[in-house]
């Protein structure tokens, strides 16, 4: 039987290190003992081993920063935002401020390794938001219900709605931190935004977050920078190819395990490969979350390396190509690929790799589409506050931003397959 | 039987991506097809999975950069240096330049995960320099002897000695890159050095590297920055504690495996835990290097997480504390700790953790010393070139730097043990 | 009689300093002796005493950088651009490259102090482009016709049109440098653009400059950053107020001098206050250009300080308020100000300052409008090059940028007058 | 009669802009209305027209920043320092904090244009400290004695001595700001210091400023950076040559004016050329300070340009060479120049420029020495605080820094004369 590890965790009472050195924001102060204890908790420390941008470092080698750094950085921005709002006369108690810090600190606590990859492969239809909520509830018990309000802010059930908007909205501290941080570590300077300036423009009207009118150009820049980062970094085609290979590898591994094959994997990963885990399991079996809480990027990468020597030639091929960065060819288009083009590639791949049927071919040829929408007005607005106290949505206030475009989802179609076939094709 | 993976590696002939985006130096051009092919090789790609600063990220969360990034960055500086020297009339052929790029690119290729940790635990007395040489020889075969001169430069057998000095000397491109890079990623701005200015001051006299006299203040700054980084980052006491815990964990795991215990580990790590690997094995059994070439940080971290549930309570305790960053207390002193003080701590730890003898206690209490010397004049000099063509050693040329100190080894003594005992003690 | 100063200029043959330290781009190499000699020429050195952003430093105290720095920086970017184009197979001779460097270096040589202010006050209807051409012609004589091709590039009469586009076009090195530099010195980080990335995307098709398709997001960011800088910096309302006060001061001084008043001014400024200088004078009287070539920001500022003690109470009032940064109140609106509102202010100002008629009031109350258009498609396009060699205008290629807005001129109306009246009004 | 300008100054009561955008420190908040009013005062606004580094921009073109920016920046650091000290339990009242902000804000208020140049030429033996005190006293009257304590801190008569140390000591906010700022604007990255880290290490023991022991490496870096900046920037030989030419020009102009020559100069400069102004004049004649308070860099530069056409050929020659950056040759040596070498140069210069005697030659050939001492232990110490509450001087605490060197004055000898003679010589 596996032991539960967290009983062993002892909160250190003395010497609470209060400053963290962050290359992006400089020295970050930890605002309270409760926050310190949450950061020290194994659930939060785990985020040190989960990269913020998954496989993007295969394209931008510096993009190795973790969800740990991002969560701390977003909390730092929340501290600035609370300061700015208070200086404008918004009434925020110390308790509320601490709850806001904790809400943003924990907003991504439910992320597993290679977030969306995982959600599509080794667990079934469980979102990281659902997991965040589960984990926060455990932490609430752990802290003697000290984070009840933080959870309410996270879930948008706290009366003063602007707190939730600061955690999760069109202009939240999450996005402001990740844009700057992802820019910094990828070396893509175009994503740098004037976070200080945006935060200085925040205000609250009727418990809603607004931006003062003179901040309108900053918001335009923020939205364009975000769009830039989407196409240049987040949906970079080479990183997409790597991600699709990873999905294939995990699906193949799970299939093999379900057929009784004894693939190497550490217990925390084997658990998810062997069992068919869904939301109900997380709810009703504490072992499920216990296992999830020690699963991270390292387990996935370490296992895939060992699978290079697997007997299954598809898993072996995919794992070797993935580990050695011999990534598949990928093409993006605005229009869907013609069926016959896809079929031609599939036939070539089947032949080249001795695949016996379409099912096997699905592991080696991927087609579909990805989307990005920078600003979704249906969802929630960025409201601009004018001197006469009038409010306007940013898409109305800005004569620059094309509302019909910003509200529209951009869709790109892809076709992805081994490079060896490409060279025969051309 | 494990297959050898590298046969599968096919050099992609088309689409050689020639630019790498580096947050530290900006866009880096890959200078030639040969260099490109070496970067693509699995042996080099492996460096993407080995952190430059090992466990330092437990103190400076941003310090996650890899040996891959550092090697590319150092090559970039080498390109600048060659340009500067050529502009001063130093005669360097294109072939020599390429060899210099390759020599610096591969200078750290032999590093395993958590470099010195590994050399002390799961392999016996094999230095990373020896492994680098072995691997370069394999790559020389792979490239049809294209890197023979690069190896000569690395080994300091190439006639024009300044090439080796640029790779490995008091002011080599290795150090200049790592100081800047480690500063950048740790957020410790004090380590930032004016690499561009230092490189502009390089010259060659009688095939030896020299610094022009007006660069003397830059060198002073370089040496002080290096010293700063040593005490503030490289030998940070908390990172030292983590490193010593890691050594203990690996030693304990190996001991258990040698007693027949079936610890979880991926094949590439199990190989080194089970066998007693020394230099001879690397020389005579290709399987040894094959295994080493797919071993990285991820295997170590993933395994240690699974060892939290080990039956052995020492391994379990150490692994849990390490993974959850419940790091041991450490104290540094200029003088050795008195024997009785060490003994008192050991007794307390034995009692607290039910350790049965001194041998077991060695896994939980560590004492010893660490050293640092910034500039060792015995080794090799930084020569300053004056306008009258006179040469002087930097320690003679600078009226600021205390030669007796710079040449002296600073030694600090440490005592390190679980925090729980500390709180009882105080 | 005033002596001509330039005969005294002796080209230093030895010790040509080849590197300039630029906080924005780092070390800048001077590419040739001819370029060095042009930089050393008093006409170019004069640019050290003309601020790039005129009075903007009254709002952003760091914005003190000069046209000298900008011209050198733009030349540096031209060197990068030429390198990039050559690496893509565009055939550019060394002579052509040098001409391109000189064309961009001298493109702003005709600017006087507080550029547009001057063109509206102490000289009549002479643009800085006309002056640049005149000065380049003088420098062509001085260099023995060595810069004939550079002049052709500047005037867009050189056959290969892309050279002119690099000097003066929608995406020229001028704009790329000034956006980065103005951002840097004003501390408005939102204007920072990825100049390196844009330049890497340049190419030439049929002697026209194009941007490769994957650079489209960089161009979007460039255009939005430019727009941001317009409203946040270039047309900052406080700087506008200061500029209008300066115009008023110079017009008043000239009026007084034309009435025979003996205002203090250094000879180089007195020349323009006393005479009614137009383009013909520059063409036919060498003394005019000689005087212009030693006129700079310092003369204007020094004289205005002495005018604080002028007998004319309007000049004295304006000068004191200007020097001591007691700047006028200014309001910007999308709609024109109603006539009655303007009249009410004028009446109040007349009374407060004992002004005797409307003419005098014009020196103290300013109304009108300013405009900005970020991208004018009528003028010249930014062409995007697709992989299939198709070309599209950026406004067509980008689904984000609102062409109707980008092509449209934004106009803002202003009303500006002393703050003392404001406080009575409100 | 000249009017006094300051009566006209009206404190704006509304719209006190509370934020300044600083490229070095980011957004700077103005902490109080009193501070705001002092910044708005013409005496302080004047600092906008006085460059921090005088003529250094002739070597580093970006070094155009002003004493205005530096004073605001130093105040910002003072705000950080007060925060840090309060967080460590040092008891500082709001009134004291404000006084500290004002003391550092005004510490350089007495600087005239090209500070030391001026003190040696157009005023006699009046230091800028004496002028600062005079001006502060006037401002104290102006503010209704609101800055009495700030003056006490400045003069070191305030009981809690650490306030004065923060304004003027070995590690004051003045030095920390100027090192960072001068580095930033000159583009000499080696001068960058970790100001945030140093300030975090400050503490107070017995009303004395101390540095906590773990800050020792930061202090070492600070001292070495300061030394670096001295030789690389502050005492750069080309800037020294320009400064000596400027001194010569002003001395020559004053000599000519004393002989009755009618040189052009704005009234505020003519006042100092015509009269022989010493400390007594500043004390007893308010006109003297009134004139000084509107004198700045612009008057000097504007006048020198007009002197290019002076009848006196020495003034004309020097002015032309200075304005057009045809700077004199300068050589630095550790040993004094032999008398005969100096004499040979003087003879050559006399001949080349038709100088009639030694007196005239003194305006064209300069010899002497400059000195720099980085840390003067006699003056005041940097005390290091150990955990056991022991205090040690930095030179004792650091095993790196060579005390005998740090305490020693470095002296360099120079010889400076027109380049034309140089070329004949060699």
Residues whose CB is less than 8 angstroms from the CB of residue B273 and which lie 6 or more positions away in sequence, other chains included: B122, B253, B254, B257, B263, B265
Residue D264 binned pLDDT confidence (cut-offs 50, 70, 90): very high
- How big is chain D by its Cα radius of gyration, in Å? 23
Residues ≥6 apart with Cβ < 8 Å to B281: B275, B288
* pLDDT single digits (tens) C116-166: 788 778 888 888 889 999 999 999 999 999 999 999 999 999 999 999 999
- Chain C: residue whose CA lies nearest to B197: C27
Q: Which residues of C touch D61 (CB under 8 A)?
A: 20-22, 48, 66, 68-69, 72
Which residues from chain C sit within 8 angstroms of residue A194, using beta carbons?
A: 188-190
**Rounded Cα distance, B285 and B90, in Å:** 44
Report the residue from D5, D10, D309 with minimal CB separation from C420: D10
Asked if residue C94 belongs to a domain, the reply is yes
Give the mean model confidence (pLDDT) for residues A308-326.
97
Asked if D296 and D113 touch (Cβ cutoff 8 Å), the reply is yes
Distance between CA A177 and CA A166 in Å, rounded?
12
| CA-based nearest residue in chain C for residue A407 | C400
Size of interface B-D (CB pairs under 8 A): 66
According to DSSP, residue C51 is labeled B
Give the count of Cβ contacts less than 8 A between chain C and D: 162
Q: Do A207 and A159 form a contact (C-beta atoms < 8 A)?
A: yes
Specify the pLDDT at position D423: 57
Å between C101 CA and nearest CA of chain A: 26
pLDDT class of D3 with cuts at 50, 70, 90 = very low
Q: B238 is written with which tokens?
A: 């908390």
Residue A362, burial from CB neighbour count under 10 angstroms (0-12, 13-18, 19+): middle
| Shared-domain flag, residues A162 and A277 | no
Contacting residues for D337 by C-beta, under 8 A, at least 6 apart: D367, D413, D415
Q: Does residue B54 sit in the same domain as residue B70?
A: yes
B50 to chain A: which residues are within 8 Å by CB? none
D354: left (phi over 0), alpha (psi -120 to 50) or beta: left
Tokens of B225: 């920055």
Angle in degrees, 0-180, between the axes of helices D313-323 and D237-258, rounded to the nearest 10: 150
Same domain, C205 and C300: no
Q: Are residues C359 and C255 part of one domain?
A: yes
Buried b (16+ CB within 10 A) or exposed e, B329-339: bbeeeeeebee
Average the pLDDT over each of C386-400, D3-17, D245-259, D260-274 and give the range with the smallest value.
D3-17
Instruction: Tell me the shortest Cα–Cα distance from C228 to chain A, in angstroms.
Output: 6
Reference B406, options B361, B363, B367, B372; nearest CA is B372
Angle at C247 between CA C241 and CA C248, to 5 degrees: 90
d(CA A98, CA A28): 15
Cβ neighbours of C9 in D, within 8 Å: 324, 326
Q: Which two tokens stand for residue C164?
A: 């002119």
| CA dist., res. B222 & res. B179, Å (int) | 9
Taking an 8 Å cut-off on Cβ atoms, the answer to whether C196 and B19 are in contact is no
Q: At C390, is the pLDDT very low, low, confident or very high (cuts 50, 70, 90)?
A: confident
Domain count, chain B: 2
Residue A123 lies in a domain: no
| Closest CB to D264 among C23, C267, C325 | C267
One digit per residue, the tens of pLDDT, for chain B of length 426 reads 333 333 323 333 334 447 899 999 988 999 999 999 999 999 999 999 999 999 999 999 999 999 999 999 999 999 999 999 998 999 999 999 999 999 999 999 999 999 778 877 888 888 888 999 999 999 999 999 999 999 999 999 999 999 999 999 888 999 999 999 999 999 987 777 778 889 999 999 999 999 998 888 888 888 878 878 888 899 899 999 999 999 999 999 999 999 999 999 999 999 999 998 999 999 999 999 999 999 999 999 999 999 999 999 999 999 999 999 999 999 988 899 999 999 999 999 999 999 999 999 999 999 999 887 555 555 567 888 887 788 888 777 776 555 555 556 678 899 999 998 875 544
Residue D324 near residue D312, CB atoms below 8 Å:
no
What 3-state DSSP class applies to B418? coil
Q: Which residues of B fall within a CB distance of 8 Å from A266?
A: 264, 266, 302-303, 305-306
How many C-beta neighbours within 10 Å does residue A369 have? Answer: 12
How close C350 comes to chain A (CA, Å)?
29
Q: What is the rounded CA–CA span in Å between residue A125 and residue A122?
A: 10
Residue A7 lies in a domain: no
The reply to whether B4 falls in a domain is no
DSSP result, C242-295 = HHHHHHHHHHHHHHHHHTT------HHHHHHHHS-EEHHHHHH-HHHHHHHTT-
Going by pLDDT thresholds of 50, 70 and 90, the confidence category of residue D41 is: very high
**A178, two tokens:** 């990740």
Beta-carbon contacts of residue B157 (< 8 Å; ≥ 6 apart): none
CATH of the domain at D43: 1.10.3210.10
Distance CA A399, CA A384 (A): 13
If asked whether residues D265 and D300 sit together in one domain, one would say: yes
Q: Residue A416 and residue A331: Cα distance in Å, rounded?
A: 7
- Report helix, strand or coil for D191: helix
The closest alpha carbon to C177, from C67, C326, C85, belongs to C67
Least trusted range by pLDDT, from A259-268, A417-426, B57-66, D212-221:
A417-426
Positive or negative torsion for Cα B96, B102, B105, B111: negative
Per-residue pLDDT of A32-56, as tens digits, reads 999 999 999 999 999 999 999 999 9
- Altogether, the residues listed in chain B come to a count of 426
Q: Is residue D5 within 8 Å of residue C320, measured between CB atoms?
A: yes
- Report if residue B261 sits inside a domain: yes
User: Chains near A, with 3+ CB pairs < 8 A?
Assistant: B, C, D
Coil vs helix vs strand at D251? helix
| Residue contact A305–B323, C-beta within 8 A | no
Give pLDDT, residue D145: 96
Chain C contact partners (≥3 CB pairs within 8 A): A, B, D
Neighbouring C-alpha atoms within 13 Å toward the C-beta of D422:
16
Strand order in the sheet with B391-393: B202-205, B208-212, B383-385, B391-393
Please write the tens of the pLDDT for every residue from D101-149. 999 999 999 999 997 788 778 888 888 889 999 999 999 999 999 999 9
Among residues B156, B183, B188, B152, which one has the least CA distance to residue B169? B156
Q: Render pLDDT for D286-339 as a digit per residue (tens, 0 to 9).
A: 999 999 999 999 999 999 999 999 999 999 999 999 999 999 999 988 899 999
Residue B140: inside a domain, yes or no? no
Query: What stretches of B275-397 show up as alpha helix (H) in DSSP?
Result: 279-284, 286-292, 297-307, 313-323, 339-353, 358-361, 394-397
CA distances from C16 to B198, C20, C37, C141, C338 (A): 21, 11, 9, 22, 61
* C135 falls within a domain: no
Q: Is residue A42 located within the same domain as residue A101?
A: yes
Same domain membership, residue D172 and residue D320: no
Question: What residues of chain C lie within 8 A of the CB of B202, using their CB?
Answer: none
A54 & A151 share domain = yes
CA distances from D299 to C305, D3, D76, D277, D295 (A): 9, 19, 30, 18, 7
Residue D231 gets which letter from DSSP?
A: I
Query: How large is the average pLDDT for residues C289-308?
Result: 96
Pairing of strands D208-212, D277-278: unpaired
Q: Say how many CB pairs under 8 Å bridge A and B.
A: 162
Residues A69 and A196 in one domain: yes
| C193: nearest CA partner in chain A | A190
Nearest Cα to Cα of residue B28 among B67, B77, B68, B63: B77
Residue A265 lies in a domain: yes
| Contact present, C113 and C295 (Cβ < 8 Å) | yes
CA B24 to centroid of chain Cα atoms: 19
pLDDT at D15 over 60: no
For residue A220, give the nearest of C192, C224, C410 by CB distance: C224
Cα gap B44→B25, rounded to integer Å: 20
CA–CA separation, C47 vs C150, rounded Å? Answer: 19
Q: pLDDT tens digit string along A171-181? A: 899 999 999 99
Residues of D in contact with B228 (CB under 8 A): 217-218, 220-221
Beta strand ranges found along B12-102 (DSSP E):
19-22, 26-29
What is the SS3 assignment for D53? coil
> What is the C-alpha separation between C201 and C385, in angstroms, rounded?
10
Q: Are residues A37 and A157 in the same domain?
A: yes
Q: What is the CATH number of the domain that holds A280?
A: 1.20.1250.30
User: Given the DSSP bridges, would you call strands A123-124 and D366-372 parallel, antiparallel or unpaired?
Assistant: unpaired
Within 8 A by CB and 6+ apart from D273, the residues are D122, D253, D254, D257, D263, D265
DSSP D51: B
Distance of alpha carbon B136 from alpha carbon B31, whole angstroms: 19
Tokens of D341: 């070498």
**Residue pair A197/A215 in contact by the 8 Å Cβ criterion:** yes
User: Using only C-alpha atoms, what is the Rg of chain C?
Assistant: 23
Are both D220 and D168 inside the same structural domain? yes
The minimal CB distance from D26 to the residues A19, A27, A196 is found for A196
For residue A392, the model assigns a pLDDT of: 82
Looking at residues D172-176, what average pLDDT do you find? 94
Ramachandran quadrant class, A134 (left: phi over 0; alpha: psi -120 to 50; beta: rest): alpha
- Using a CB-CB cut-off of 8 Å, the residues of chain D touching A19 are 200
pTM of the model: 0.87
Residue A408 with chain C: CB contacts under 8 Å: 399
Residues D310 and D256 placed together within one structural domain of the fold: yes
Tracing tokens 């000189």 back to the chain, one arrives at: C102
For C196, the closest of B26, B196, B200 (CB atoms) is B26
E strand residue ranges, D190-341: 202-205, 208-212, 277-278, 329-333
CA-CA-CA-CA torsion for D221, D224, D230, D231, nearest 10 degrees?
-130
Q: How many residues comprise chain A? A: 426
Residue of C nearest to B196 (CA): C27
CB contact under 8 A, C19 and B200: yes
* Domain span at C285: 237-371+413-425
Neighbours of A253 (CB within 10 A): 27
- Measured between CB atoms, which of A27, A197, A200 is closest to D200? A27
Q: How close does chain B come to D371, measured CA to CA in Å?
A: 14
């Amino acid at each position: 039987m596996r032991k539960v590890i967290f009983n062993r965790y002892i909160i250190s009472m003395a010497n609470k290190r209060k400053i963290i050195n962050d290359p992006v924001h400089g020295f970050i102060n930890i605002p309270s003992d409760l926050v310190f204890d949450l950061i020290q908790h194994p659930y939060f420390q785990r985020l040190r081993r989960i990269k913020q941008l998954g496989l993007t470092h295969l394209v931008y080698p510096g993009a190795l920063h973790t969800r740990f750094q991002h969560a701390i950085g977003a909390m730092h921005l929340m501290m600035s935002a609370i300061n700015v709002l208070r200086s404008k006369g918004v009434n925020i108690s110390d308790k509320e401020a601490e709850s806001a810090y904790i809400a943003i600190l924990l907003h991504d606590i439910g992320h597993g390794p290679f977030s969306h990859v995982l959600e599509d492969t080794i667990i079934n239809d469980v979102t990281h938001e659902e997991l965040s909520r589960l984990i926060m509830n455990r932490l609430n018990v752990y802290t003697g219900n000290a984070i009840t309000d933080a959870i309410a802010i996270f879930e948008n059930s706290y009366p003063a709605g602007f707190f939730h908007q600061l955690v999760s909205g069109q202009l939240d501290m999450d996005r402001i931190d990740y844009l700057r941080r992802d820019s910094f570590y990828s070396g893509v300077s175009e994503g740098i935004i004037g976070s200080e300036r945006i935060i200085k423009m925040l205000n609250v009207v009727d418990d809603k977050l607004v931006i003062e009118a003179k901040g309108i150009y900053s918001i335009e820049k923020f939205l364009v920078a975000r769009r830039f980062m989407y196409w240049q970094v987040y949906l970079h085609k080479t990183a997409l190819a790597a991600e699709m290979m990873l999905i294939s590898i995990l699906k193949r591994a799970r299939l093999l395990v379900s057929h009784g094959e004894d693939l190497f994997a550490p217990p925390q990963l084997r658990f998810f490969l062997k069992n068919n885990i869904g939301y109900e399991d997380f709810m009703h079996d504490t072992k499920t979350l216990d296992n999830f809480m020690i699963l991270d990027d390292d387990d996935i990468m370490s296992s895939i390396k060992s699978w290079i020597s697997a007997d299954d030639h598809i898993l072996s091929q995919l794992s070797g190509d993935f580990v050695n960065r011999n990534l598949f060819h990928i093409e993006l288009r605005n229009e869907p690929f013609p069926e016959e083009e896809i079929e031609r590639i599939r036939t070539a791949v089947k032949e080249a790799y001795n695949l016996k049927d379409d099912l096997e071919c699905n592991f080696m040829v991927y087609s579909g589409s990805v989307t990005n929408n920078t600003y979704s007005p249906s969802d929630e607005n960025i409201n601009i506050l004018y001197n006469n106290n009038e409010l306007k949505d940013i898409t109305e206030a800005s004569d620059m931003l094309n509302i019909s475009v910003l509200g529209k989802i951009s869709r790109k179609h892809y076709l992805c397959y081994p490079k060896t076939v490409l060279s025969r094709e051309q």
